[in-house]
């Protein structure tokens, strides 16, 4: 059982997920085109969708290189060192692994938004001012340093005794689950589902760059972590998608490296080592010279 399960994420990706992506993206575009009096700032824009797909292709080509540059895995080391080991052939190991990995993902995703070093990579995914299935595959390329650091959030899963490949499978499943959430074509689901699980409504909020939506709804599969740790916001109105300060380009290379380049310039211009530290590991928008960096989140709208 163990060996086939190791290969299952990749089999799912190429034999099920990719064909489904093409079919559903086309269906989403057709239904949007048929909608009367559509607002051109919602749905699709050809240049924006092309930009998302090109960034996705770039990340797919550079992925193996990134793994070669930083082959070390916090998860593998933690799973090897822990004195507890869950049996991989037990069904409950996979259930526990899914819940624990989802919990770790919540904190990794929250760190993506609150640590600028990580935000320099994750901001690529949020850079589109449109919200559709192509937005889901807008993932950063050539950012191994950020991916390496954020994966430390999954150490607790390894130390808990979950096998490393179970954690990796659950990470892949969580990403696959989130892909169809990137759509405006699905409204709110029944209340019990909305209460427990991440849904398109919750994820539209997550991609909002306006308050009260900014930096909310970090969960992958379960939304209960956001309810528990104070980062939940319901969808009350149409979110404003994109960044708090949009970069205004459809060039995939500029889109991918914009925030990283700005961050590095801010590090160079910081007057002190403390300022450089704040620039790298403070929240996005922190003042490089401030003793206590201001957060970029404004006061929530009442």
Whether the pLDDT of residue 2 is over 50: the answer is no
b/e 207-224 (16+ beta carbons within 10 angstroms → b): bbbebbbbbbbbbbbbbb
Rounded Cα–Cα distance for residues 17 and 179 (Å): 9
Asked if residue 212 has a cis previous peptide bond (ω within 30° of 0), the answer is yes
pLDDT digit string, tens, across residues 72-83: 788 889 998 999
Whether the pLDDT of residue 184 is over 60: the answer is yes
- Please report the pLDDT score of residue 68 as a whole number: 67
- Please report the pLDDT score of residue 22 as a whole number: 84
pLDDT digit string, tens, across residues 16-37: 677 888 888 888 888 888 775 5
Instruction: Confirm if 125 and 256 have CB atoms less than 8 A apart.
Output: no
Whether the pLDDT of residue 298 is over 80: the answer is no
Helix, coil or strand: residue 133: helix
Helix, coil or strand: residue 40: coil
**Minimum mean pLDDT among 10-14, 86-90, 181-185, 296-300: which range?**
296-300
Q: For residue 282, count other CB atoms closer than 10 A to its CB.
A: 22
Range from 20-29, 59-68, 186-195, 283-292 that averages highest in pLDDT: 186-195
pLDDT digit string, tens, across residues 119-146: 999 999 999 999 999 999 999 998 888 8
| CA 194 remoteness from chain centre | 19
Rounded Cα–Cα distance for residues 22 and 49 (Å): 13
The DSSP code sequence of the chain is -HHHHHHHHHHHIIIIIHHHHHHHHHHHHHHHHHSTT--TTSS--HHHHHHHHHHHHHHHHHHHHHHHH----HHHHHHHH-S----TTSHHHHHHHHHHHHHHHHHHHHHHHH-HHHHHHHHHHH--SS-SHHHHT---SS-HHHHHHHGGGGHHHHHTT--HHHHHHHHHHHHHHHGGGS-SS--PPPHHHHHHB--HHHHHHHTB-STTTTT----SSBSHHHHHTT------S---BS-SS------HHHHHHHHHHHHHHHHHH-SSHHHHHHHHHS-TT--TT-SSPPPSPPPPP-
Q: How confident is the model at residue 64 (pLDDT cuts 50, 70, 90)?
A: confident
| CA 37 remoteness from chain centre | 32
Rounded Cα–Cα distance for residues 179 and 90 (Å): 28
Going by C-beta distance under 8 Å and a sequence separation of 6 or more, which residues neighbour residue 41? 129, 130
Q: For residue 94, count other CB atoms closer than 10 A to its CB.
A: 19
Q: How confident is the model at residue 302 (pLDDT cuts 50, 70, 90)?
A: very low
């Amino acid at each position: 059982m163990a060996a086939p399960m190791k290969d299952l994420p990749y089999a799912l990706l190429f034999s099920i997920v990719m064909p489904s992506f093409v079919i559903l993206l086309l269906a989403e575009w057709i239904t949007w085109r048929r909608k009367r009096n559509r607002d051109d700032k919602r749905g699709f824009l050809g240049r924006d969708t092309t930009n998302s797909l090109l960034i996705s292709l770039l990340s797919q080509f550079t992925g193996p290189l990134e793994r070669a540059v930083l082959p070390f895995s916090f998860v593998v080391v933690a799973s090897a060192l822990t004195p507890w080991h869950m049996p991989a052939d037990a069904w409950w190991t996979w259930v526990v692994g899914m819940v624990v990995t989802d919990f770790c993902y919540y904190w990794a995703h929250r760190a993506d938004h609150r640590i600028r070093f990580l935000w320099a990579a994750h901001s690529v995914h949020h850079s589109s001012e449109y919200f559709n299935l192509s937005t889901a595959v807008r993932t950063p390329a050539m950012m191994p340093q950020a991916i390496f650091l954020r994966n430390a959030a999954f150490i607790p899963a390894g130390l808990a005794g979950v096998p490393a490949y179970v954690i990796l499978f659950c990470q892949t499943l969580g990403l696959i689950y989130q892909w169809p959430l990137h759509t405006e074509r699905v409204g709110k689901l029944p209340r019990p589902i909305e209460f427990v699980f991440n849904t398109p409504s919750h994820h539209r909020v997550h991609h909002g760059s306006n308050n009260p939506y900014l930096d909310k709804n970090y969960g992958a599969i379960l939304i209960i972590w956001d309810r528990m740790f104070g980062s939940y916001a319901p969808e009350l109105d149409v979110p404003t998608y994109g960044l708090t300060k949009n970069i205004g380009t459809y060039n995939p290379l500029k889109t991918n490296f914009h925030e990283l380049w700005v961050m590095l310039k801010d590090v160079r211009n910081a007057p002190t080592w403390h300022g450089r530290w704040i620039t790298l590991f403070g929240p996005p928008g922190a003042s490089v010279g401030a003793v206590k960096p201001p957060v970029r989140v404004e006061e929530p709208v009442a």
